[in-house]
Amino acid sequence: MRKSQVSGFEDLDENQFSDMYRIAACQKGPAYASLEPLLADDKPLRTRVRKPRDPAQPHLPFEPMPERVEPCLALLKARPPTGPEWTYEIKWDGYRVAVHIEPQRVRVITRGGHDWTHRFPGIVEAAKQLGVATAILDGEAVVLDEQGRPDFGRLQNSLGGRGGKLSAGDAMLYVFDHLYFDGHDIRSMELSSRRFFLESLLRGEEGAIRLSEEVDGEGSEIFKAAADHGLEGIIAKNRDSAYRSGRFGDWVKIKCIQSDSFMIVGYEHSVSARGGIGSLMLAARTGNDLVYVGSVGTGFKERDALQLRKMLDRLKRKSPPVGHAGARKDLVWAQPTLIAEIEYCVWTHDGKLRHASFKGLREAQDNAAVFSIE
């Protein structure tokens, strides 16, 4: 375009008019700029047709998704911490898993790094419907009882017991953290920001994947309410903390009911008890050794007892793997291989479990930590 074609610019010389035109073209956009060729030799610009995006990669990641993330673990405390920096949630009683959502697949990875995708088909299908291209969700796979409380025994039974091959179609995932979102690793962000993304993604979801809600209130009151409802406990989290793999105190667990993992080192044979097991002999770790911590004779049904008897009889040994466990003839000792989740009230003065109850066997893939006595 030339100066003679536009009225109102007669007082400008050709250089001034050219500068004004370029400024106007930048402000008005391509429609205005197209009135004059941009190249000095007046040749029109030509562009190549863009290649369509591969539908298998709807969003190219900015940061690579980790194959696996070691979980952030909660530190056990006797009382809930207080202060504005702490937020509280229910402590779910199930299997800790991470759900990796990728463009072509969904993976469910256990705390120990094993792939359990095939064991939670309902959770996998729900993850595919979330409408997010890539994500890593951290949560707990549970099965609820009639009162809506997580029941570890029911979860175990739905999976076919320890070493079972069944898929837990009735299991659901309560998600409490978000580690990776649409191509971005967000573990370095504070918890409050990660929760913002998580709530935006899961708010209103009522299927097999649900949000683990934060509970408003003072820590001790929330803990008391959890105990009154028969829950295992609560988790307190520092809302300003990043996601750090390991046990650093950013997350704290406070248990209403004591529940820990112990090694089964044998059983008391009984001709009158169901399955022939009167009680299971339990041990905890102390350094590199095992120490006897008592027995448990309640909590398992006849089917559980029969299954335990078969497994323990394959692990028989002549001498006890722990000391100070007694020398009665009705005791059958076993190689310390099976790990049981045990609920109990307190420890006695001589280091034994009081009012213990069997909840189920822990899977080796779950990487359950056997209780350690300092």
How far is the C-alpha of 323 from the C-alpha of 293, rounded, in Å? 10
- Residues 269, 296: contact at Cβ < 8 Å? no
The one-letter amino acid at 279:
S
Contact 139, 212 (CB under 8 A): yes
- The residues with which 138 forms a beta bridge, in sequence order, are 98, 177
Residues 6+ apart with CB under 8 A from 215: 88, 89, 90, 222, 234
Phi-psi region of 262 (alpha: psi -120 to 50; beta: other; left: phi over 0): beta
- CB atoms inside a 10 Å sphere around CB 115: 13
State residue 100 phi and psi, 5-degree precision. Answer: -100, 115
- Cα separation, 113 vs 367, in Å, equals 8
Residue 202 host element (H or E) = helix 191-202
341 touches 255 (CB < 8 A): no
Q: Per the residue annotation, which of 91, 237, 255, 359 is the catalytic one?
A: 91
91 catalytic per annotation: yes
What are the residue numbers of the active site? 91
